[in-house]
Amino acid sequence: MAIINFGGVEENVVTRDEFSLEKARETLKNEVVAVLGYGVQGPAQAMNMRDNGINVIVGQRPGTKNWDKAVADGWVPGETLFPVEEAAERGTVIQYLLSDAGQRSQWSKIVETLNEGDMLYFSHGFSVTYKDDTGVVPPPHVDVALVAPKGSGTSVRRNFLAGSGINASYAVHQDATGRAQERTIALGIAIGAGYLFPTTFKSEVFSDLTGERGILMGALAGVMEAQYNELRKHGHSPSEAFNETVEELTQSLIRLVGENGMDWMYANCSTTAQRGALDWKDKFRDAVAPVFGDLYQSVATGNEARITLEANSHPEYRARLEEELRAIRESEMWQAGAAVRALRPENWKK
């Protein structure tokens, strides 16, 4: 491990310098990694490991769109692609990457496939942390671990192909073999993690649910809508309102933050922008702080988990989700966004 100073606090992290891909391959050479679920994280992790020389199979329900996607991605039915339970039976590392609701519904079948010395791998601490709601209680004879990439499956794959990787947290919840830590880090390196930092299942899910509902998705979408609507209310055109709210952020400013930090982005903007941003930053922070307090408590008490499981287990869930996403997609703001994106230079007709 490497000791890195994060803002005055030292943390142990694992990079490819300490744990090389060659070491990961050696650690996993006798494993069959069964990736269960080919939805959000499954494709990226499975293909990255396959490209890195790991023995990988995929478990997915036949006759589904995700089964067809797996076939299109080069997984061969009967050789590297199987129904979920069969893949679990064949694997020694079972990557349980079904949705959280799917993990609850399939657990009684999957637990029966776990042999002594297997590893049960998650990319989210949800099912184990909220075991009273999910029923997911791993048996004592298997390793239980987590590697949680800090990004969507799409980003995990894109960054891997670009050679950059994506950061991930890792945790060992149960070490039945004495090798759980080494296996877990090897899997993190094999899926292409940029660096790995330690966590626990509980800490991962608390931070993840807060982040998704907060700044990463919920808060971001909400404040964008608020600013766009305020500009439109005062007569600004959809193009102007969208460019000042979303396009400049995603195509310019957030990239500067990613490159070298918030101060770097400020330093590369006008003095007028700097002064206004610095004056208003704390007002926004103080205004939303109580909302984040409420959000974290809702996560910590399990309320968010119960809401998620109930909603995502409903037979009409996907139809309801599409209706909610359609409402966003067809709103004036995001219709303006579609028009703006079409006008980016890379989309101009040659």
pLDDT at 79 over 60: yes
Statement: residue 179 has pLDDT above 60: yes
Same structural domain, 77 and 133: yes
204 belongs to a structural domain: no
184, 144: one domain:
yes
Residue 194 reports pLDDT greater than 90:
no
Asked whether residue 188 falls in the same domain as residue 145, the answer is: yes
Last residue of one domain, picked from the residues 199, 234, 263: 199
Please report the pLDDT score of residue 349 as a whole number. 62
| 205 falls within a domain | no
Same domain, 222 and 286: yes
Cα four-point dihedral sign 181, 187, 189, 195:
negative
- Domain match, 36 and 169 both: yes
List the CATH number of the domain containing 220: 1.10.1040.10
**Mean per-residue pLDDT of the chain:** 94
Annotated catalytic residue within 124, 141, 173, 314: 124
Give the domain range for residue 294: 211-347
* pLDDT above 70: percentage of residues in the chain: 99
Structure tokens at 155: 């980003």
Same domain, 315 and 174: no
Whether residue 193 is found in the same domain as residue 261: no
- Which strand (E) or helix (H) includes residue 172? strand 166-174
Statement: residue 350 has pLDDT above 60: no
In the chain, the amino acid numbered 316 is: E
Residue 312 lies in a domain: yes
- 142 lies in a domain? yes
Q: What is the pLDDT of residue 345?
A: 84
Q: Are residues 125 and 151 in the same domain?
A: yes
| pLDDT the model gives residue 3 | 84
- How many structural domains compose the chain? 2
In a domain, 206, yes or no: no
Active site residue 236: no
Give, in degrees to the nearest 5, the angle at Cα 180 between 174 and 186: 140
Tokens of 307: 């809401």
- CATH code where residue 92 lies: 3.40.50.720
SS3 82: strand
Q: Are residues 119 and 153 in the same domain?
A: yes
pLDDT of residue 151: 87
Residue 150 DSSP class: S
Condensed to tens digits (0 to 9), the pLDDT of residues 13-63 reads 898 888 999 999 999 999 999 999 999 899 999 999 999 999 999 999 999
Q: What is the mean pLDDT of residues 275-287?
A: 96
- Check residue 226 and give its pLDDT: 97
Tokens describing residue 287: 């205004």
Q: Tens of pLDDT along 292-345?
A: 999 999 999 999 999 999 998 888 988 999 999 999 999 999 999 999 999 888
The answer to whether the CB of 172 falls within 8 A of the CB of 196 is no
Burial class of residue 344, CB neighbours in 10 A (0-12, 13-18, 19+): exposed
- 70 & 160 share domain: yes
The long-range contacts involving 226-230, CB below 8 angstroms and separated by at least 24 positions, are: 228/333, 229/333
pLDDT attached to residue 10: 82
Mean pLDDT of 222-239: 97
